[in-house]
Structure 1
Amino acid sequence: MRTLISTGSPWEPKVGYSRAVIVNDTIYISGTAGQGADLYAQTRDALATIEKVLTDNGFALADVVQSRLAVADFAHWQDAARAHGEVYNAIRPAFSLVHALPFVEDTILVEVEAIAVRGSA
Structure 2
Amino acid sequence: MAVDFARRVSEIRRAYSGAPWESKVGYCRAVRAGPHVWVTGTVALDDAGNAFAPGDAGAQAARCFEIIAKALGDVGADISDVVRTRMFVTDISRWEEIGAAHGAVFRDHPPATTMVQVSSFIGPEFLVEVEADAFVSGEME
The alignment's TM-score, normalised by the length of structure 2, stands at 0.77
Q: Counterpart of 1:36?
A: 53
State the Cα deviation string for residues 8-27 of structure 1 (Å, max 9, x = none): 44522432322111111111
4+ residue runs over 6 A deviation? none
More strand by share: 1
Aligned to 2:116: 98
Query: What fraction of aligned residue pairs are identical, expressed as a percent?
Result: 36
**Following TM superposition, by how much is the alpha carbon of 1:79 offset from its aligned partner in structure 2, in angstroms?**
0.9
Q: Deviations over 1:10-65 (max 9, x none)?
A: 52243232211111111100011112240000000110111111122211211000
Listed as ranges, the gaps of 5+ residues in structure 2 are 1-10, 45-51
Distance 1:15 1:78, change over 3 A: same
After alignment, is 92-101 or 51-60 more displaced?
Answer: 51-60
Aligned counterparts of 2:83 and 2:23: Cα–Cα separation in 1: 28
Contiguous gaps of at least 5 residues in structure 1: none
For the residue of structure 2 that corresponds to 1:53, the secondary structure is: helix
Report the secondary structure of 2:95's partner residue.
helix
Q: How does 1:1-121 map to 2 (within 5 A)?
A: 1-34=11-44, 35-37=52-54, 38-119=56-137
Instruction: Provide the C-alpha distance between the structure 1 equivalents of 2:40 and 2:130, rounded to a whole number of angstroms.
Output: 8
Larger Rg computed on CA atoms: 2
CA RMSD of aligned residues (A): 1.7
Classify the secondary structure of the residue corresponding to 1:18.
coil
2:92 aligned partner, one-letter code: F
Q: State which drifts further: 105-114 or 52-61.
A: 52-61
CA offsets per residue over residues 43-102 of structure 1, 9 Å max, x none? 001101111111222112110001111011222121101110111011110101111111
The aligned length equals 120
